[in-house]
Structure 1
Amino acid sequence: MVRRAFFVVLLLCISMVVLAAETREHTIHEILETTGARLQWDADRGIGVLRNANTYVSFRPGSRWGLVNYANQRELGEIRRVDGNIIFSAEAAETVLSILKPARQTSTDRYISTIFIDAGHGGRDPGAVGIHTINGERWEIKEKDIVLDVSMRLRDMLRRGFPERDIVMSREDDTYLRLEERTEAANSVELAENETIIFLSIHANATFNTRAKGFEVWVLPPEERRGGLVDSRTTGVSDPGVLSILNTIREEELTIESVLLSRSLLTGLEGSVGDVAPNRGMKTASWSVVRNARMPSVLVELGFVTNKEEALRMAEPDHLHNLALGLYNGIVEFIRYFEAPQ
């Protein structure tokens, strides 16, 4: 009888230990140690991103909801901040661990399925026009023609290099498109669960300073707000507060990816035309096409039509080829980063 009672007590003790282990909270450090993931923390917005190989989990203490792989909303569980530490409830820890340590499968890998090339201006909108005197005669070059030429060359390079991906253009001839039509076309591309699309709007520059020359890439300022990235129809979430948090998380992710895409493009252009055109770096502005594209997006300025030397160069097929090649190499590098296991 005593022996039986001893075993009953022992089983109760074991059950209590197991239950405690299953219900205890976890610190962010335990999550990182268990998964081998890395944490990126945005102190200004109070948003964290856990990354393990090709899997990303974005979260915000105080919200039960997060994003998986930049797009998929997921209810994680309670996450809160206590004395400067981030605490995951047992439910949240279990969910995050199951996401960051899934059974081996390829369906969770991030994949850039579509590259959208927007050749700026067109039709009745010539864009910037460079007017110069060459051998005593008036000569002009139009932005819309330069960017269409480079965009078509880039399209062909990408289709040869990535026949399995969709290469989409906003225009393939001298057609006028409203700004909204360009981003609407990109935003309407259908994607599978783990697929991503990137957006490049290609332009040529102009300024009153005729000495200015070189290439640059523009991204949206980090403080710029993008609405409508997350909605109740796609998430099944109706709480406006939760939707706002999810939208903020998505904004942060698009900002990071756009900056990385910008840097890759600048590196590619420097390698192909850096010997004749200076790298003017990455800049920020609230361009309509960049702001309204719900994906990693950049605006590229290939050079200045108002600089006589650079304008003449942008009329040469070899230079236009090199500009397209620089963009191609930048995209290749970004794809390699975006899709590579880490």
Structure 2
Amino acid sequence: MKVKKIVLFLLAFLSCSVFCQNGKMDFIQNVQKNGISFYWDPMTSSGLLEKNGHRISFRAGDLFFIQDYKTLVSEAAPFFEGGKLVSTSAFFNLAENFFKLQNSETPYKIGAILIDPGHGGKDPGASSTHVSGGKKITVVEKDINLKVGLMLRDYLKKAYPEKNILMTRSTDVFLTLSQRTEIANSVKLKENEAILYVSVHVNSSMSEKVTGYEVWYLSPGYRRQVLNSKSVNEDASILPILNSMTEEEYTTESILMAKFIMNGIAAQVGNLSNSRGIKEEEWFVVRNSNMPSVLIELGFLSNKNEGLLLNDTNYLQKLSLGIYNGLQEFVTNFERTRGFTGN
């Protein structure tokens, strides 16, 4: 208990020394005055400042901030006071000097999108047989996943010829879950680039009445190692801090990507199917991908109407276009804000 009190006292002393030695400034007002773009993530109380293609990221109340996601600066980040974000004058001086010294390099962007059609080869996934027009029609998940994946790839290649649009499989072959995530994590990117991971699946249920599409992202409660010591310009002792912040960014970006994809699908399929919402889970392929990632469930094969729709090429085109539109909106948002919502 004594040690805990000493630690709390030291933290309070450090916070007071930093805040008392530097004048407080209205954070939002100074951001606007200096032509700096500001994006805020209320889920994690994290902020992002952007100017000339460079960024400063921080968590409200921390005694440090990070430049361009790799360099840690020991200075108090903006903090809340009276329900308003304020900062020290020292923070703003350091931020202004950082932005002035940087050249206007290429902004952070999506360099690659990896589409992962689930199952394949000896692993068919879910399947269901329905009778339509007196004929038996068997719908198999691995085939639907691949068809939608190929359509999505074609849309993305046409829209983004400068980006690397990849697939874990483009034919009916079997891949283990580990192989899929290894493919994702081994994609070569430039320093200012990121990759998105989109896993495509089809659902099934014991109840034939269940219908709808849904998009899953990694549960925020799951913690993983997404950085290594070679990826930052700091000593290994701060790696856990940088890893935590990067991981929270991945989660936020994954949620945004899921939201945009859900909206895109809804706009295309209308009342042909129903949205089951955005959900969180620790799927293997999402849990082990060191990047923003989502898993899409296109619908339920076990429902007759939806099963037959999923066997219809025109309907699969609607789904593919919906996913594409969602990804396009996310890419635009990401490349402008790196996943943060505007304040």
TM-score normalized with structure 1 length: 0.81
Is structure 2 residue 326 aligned with structure 1 residue 330? Answer: yes
Q: Pick closer, same or farther for the CA change 1:67–1:230 going to 2, 3 Å.
A: farther
Are 1:184 and 2:187 counterparts?
Answer: no
Structure 2 Cα separation of the partners of residues 83 and 317 of structure 1: 53
The residue aligned with 1:115 is 113
Question: Alpha carbons of 1:289 and 1:142: their partners in 2 closer, same or farther (altered >3 Å)?
Answer: same
Q: Which range moves more in the overlay, 158-167 or 129-138? A: 129-138
Matched positions, count: 310
- SS of 1:274's partner is helix
Q: 1:273 aligns with which of 269, 274, 288?
A: 269
1:222-280 Cα deviation digits (max 9, x unpaired) = 222122x122122143333x111111101111111111111111111011112301111
Where does residue 3 of structure 1 map in the other structure? Answer: none
How many angstroms does 1:162 deviate by? Answer: 1.3
Between the aligned partners of 1:236 and 1:275, the Cα distance in structure 2 is 51
RMSD: 2.7
Identity rate, percent: 36
Q: Contact between 1:117 and 1:169, CA under 8 Å: does it hold in 2?
A: yes
Aligned match of 1:58? 57
One-letter code aligned to 1:225: R
Question: What runs of 5+ residues in structure 1 fail to find an aligned partner?
Answer: 1-23
Answer with 1 or 2: which has the greater Rg.
1
- Residues in 1 aligned to 2:273 and 2:95: alpha-carbon distance in whole angstroms: 47
Cα distance in 2 for partners of 1:177, 1:32 equals: 53
1:206 aligned residue (204, 207, 215): 204
CA shift, 1:104, in A, is 6.5
1:105 maps to 2:104: yes
1:1-342 to structure 2, matched below 5 A, reads 25=22, 27=24, 29-30=26-27, 33-34=30-31, 35=34, 36-38=36-38, 40=40, 48-52=46-50, 55-60=54-59, 61-62=61-62, 64=64, 66=66, 68=68, 72-79=69-76, 88=88, 90=90, 93-100=92-99, 105-107=104-106, 109-134=107-132, 138-227=136-225, 229-240=226-237, 242-340=238-336
Q: Report the AA paired with residue 40 of structure 1.
A: W
3-state secondary structure, aligned to 1:127: coil
More deviation, 54-63/301-310: 54-63
Q: Which residue of 1 aligns with 2:12?
A: none
Unaligned runs of 5+ in 2: 1-20
Is the CA contact (8 Å cut-off) linking 2:67 and 2:73 kept in structure 1? Answer: no
Secondary structure at the aligned position of 1:210 is classed as: coil
2:62 and 2:288 mapped to 1: Cα distance? 28
CA distance in 2, matches of 1:310, 1:253: 35
Hey, what's the Cα distance between the residues in 2 that align with 1:340 and 1:81? 22
